[in-house]
Amino acid sequence: MSSPLADRLRPKTIDEVVGQTHLLGENASLRRIIESGNIPNLIFYGPSGVGKTTVARIIASQTNKRLHKLNGTNASLADIKAIVGELDTIVGYNGILLYLDEIQYLNKKQQQSLLEYIEDGRITLIASTTENPYFYIYNAILSRSTVFEFKSVPWEEVEKAVTRGFAAISGELGFTIELEDGVSSHIAKSCGGDVRKSLNTVELLCISAQRREDDTRYVSMELARELSQKSSMKYDRDGDEHYDIVSAFQKSMRGSDPDAAIHYLARLLEAGDLASACRRLMVCACEDVGLAYPMIIPIVKAAVDAALQVGLPEARLCLADAVILVATSPKSNTAHDAINAAMEDIQKGNSGPIPRCLQNKHYDGEDNQNKGQFYKYPHEYPNRWVEQQYLPDALKNRVYYTPGDNKMEQAAAEYWKKIKGK
């Protein structure tokens, strides 16, 4: 039992792999490629513990190529050059299969050093990564490879591996392991689709299980909950999972779904990411509710201030109030569209001199034949409004803001139509 249980039970054939039926099921694309024996350059992308390394090893064992394994976390350019150096020797006669785990950790120069050899087929690359390959892998490598996305394994499939794990340890140690009802399914559901994590939990439970007088072991639900707590929370503040969760959080509020919004808030807070929850909540209040309910901005700001002041776990209460309020409020992005349109004009150089009536002028030079600022002070006119030009000449007819169809903006629009006599 020197190696971890997940390694001891690693599948040896495609049929033993749990999950990934979209890739490895009957007539699935990756399975057909593997069975053909003609292996192209492959990149496996997906979360940890879902079978990427296992499938790569199965492919490697079915080829006649010289197999090399490298891990991007510690591989150097010298390691890659050593592999390339074998190509013209007898050991590399049939070509080399390079299994490169965590390829995203290789820098651009290291990845580029493989290009010539994977293009002409002397090196067949099978790489795996937990990060989005289109962001982290050099484009020239991507263009010479086929990307397959591995997904989190459904808990029903994980439970099969959990059952097999308990049976394997029972056989290795020579004693019976009795499980309280629901233990296997609880482990499967709490691992977040990570088979490796579920088997690590199985091994830990067997080590710490209650020993009975007849030398059997008993695994209770209480022990299972204790040792698998929070294991379903997949979260990396610098990785795809972080951006997926915060994106789903804001889009759920924007889409007026309070249940989904609260769910994603809970995931952020369970990971301790109070800052991201507060930031996205404030952004959504301004961007997506906006002028349909302007008072939501100070209300949400107050809730965020309270959350940051009390901290977790109590902060969840302040934020839950604000999230549900944002999700159930009327929506308007008219201010968002207006500022974006104005910024676009500025970035394109569409501006021009500020109208003289708005300039900060205190005196005119002797050479100015038309002295005076000519600014009309609105408070001196009926209804505190007077018509005058505020935009530069080049943009004087430009319209950035169009009132939304919500009650608040329509009321404001009707008021100004009346005042302006339109």
Least confident among 16-20, 289-293, 326-330, 359-363 = 359-363
pLDDT, position 229 = 60
**Sign of torsion over alpha carbons 243, 247, 250, 252:** negative
Residue 186 has pLDDT above 80, yes or no: yes
Over 80: is that where the pLDDT of 2 sits? no
CA distance 123 to 80: 11
> Using one digit for the tens of pLDDT, what is the confidence trace for 27-40?
899 999 988 888 88
In this prediction the pTM is: 0.58
Identify residue 262 by its one-letter amino acid code.
I
The number of beta carbons lying within 10 Å of the beta carbon of residue 123 is 25
Of residues 3 and 265, more confidently modeled? 265
pLDDT, mean of residues 8-27: 88
CA count, 13 A, side-chain hemisphere, 99: 16
At 84, the pLDDT band (50, 70, 90 cuts) reads confident
Instruction: Assess contact for 54 and 101: CB atoms under 8 A.
Output: no
Q: Which of 87-91, 148-152, 318-322, 357-361 has the highest mean pLDDT?
A: 318-322
Q: What is the mean pLDDT of residues 154-171?
A: 89
Which residue bears the tokens 């199965």? 58
What is the mean pLDDT of the segment spanning 241-262?
90
Residue 80: CB atoms within 10 Å: 22
**Share of residues in the chain with pLDDT > 70 (%):** 92
All domains in the chain, ordered by first residue: 20-149 (3.40.50.300), 155-228 (1.10.8.60), 240-328 (1.20.272.10), 334-420 (1.10.3710.10)
Q: Which residue has the higher pLDDT, 73 or 324?
A: 324
Let me know how long the chain is.
Answer: 422
Mean pLDDT within 125-150: 87
pLDDT at 115: 85
Is 50 exceeded by the pLDDT of residue 207?
A: yes
* pLDDT average, residue stretch 8-18: 88
Query: What gap in Å lies between CA 85 and CA 88, rounded to an integer?
Result: 7
For residue 230, is pLDDT > 60?
A: no
Mean pLDDT of all residues in 371-382: 81
88 Cβ contact list (under 8 Å, min separation 6): none
DSSP lists the bridge partners of residue 177 as 217
Out of 276-280, 337-341, 354-358, 367-371, pick the least confident. Answer: 367-371
Answer with the residue of higher pLDDT: 76 or 340: 340
Please indicate whether residue 126 or residue 237 has the higher confidence score (pLDDT): 126
pLDDT of residue 231: 47
DSSP structural state of residue 145: S
Which pair of structure tokens corresponds to residue 93?
């006669």
Is the CA virtual torsion 390, 391, 394, 400 positive or negative? negative
Mean model confidence pLDDT for the chain: 85
- Among 73-82, 324-333, 356-365, 382-391, the range with the most confident prediction by mean pLDDT is 324-333
**Considering the chain, what percentage of its residues have pLDDT values greater than 90?**
25
Quick one: which H or E segment has residue 211?
strand 210-211
3-state secondary structure 75-135: CCHHHHHHHHCCCCCHHHCCCEEEEEECHHHCCHHHHHCCHHHHHCCCEEEEEEECCCHHH
Secondary structure letter of residue 286 according to DSSP: I
pLDDT of the residue at 390 = 87
Task: Give the model confidence (pLDDT) of 49-62 as tens digits.
Answer: 888 888 988 888 77
169 contact partners, CB below 8 Å, separation of at least 6:
5, 177, 202, 203, 206
67 - beta bridge partners?
Answer: 97
DSSP assignment, residue 229? T
Mean pLDDT, to the nearest integer, of 286-310? 94
Coil, helix or strand at residue 146: strand
Name the DSSP letter for residue 395.
G
pLDDT value at 113 more than 90: no
Alpha-carbon distance values, 144 to 114, 118, 136, 138, 323 (Å)? 11, 8, 15, 10, 45
What DSSP string describes 333-386? -HHHHHHHHHHHHHHTT---PPPGGGS------TT-SS-S-----GGGSGGG--
CB 373 within 8 A of CB 357: yes
Classify 179 as helix, strand or coil.
Answer: strand
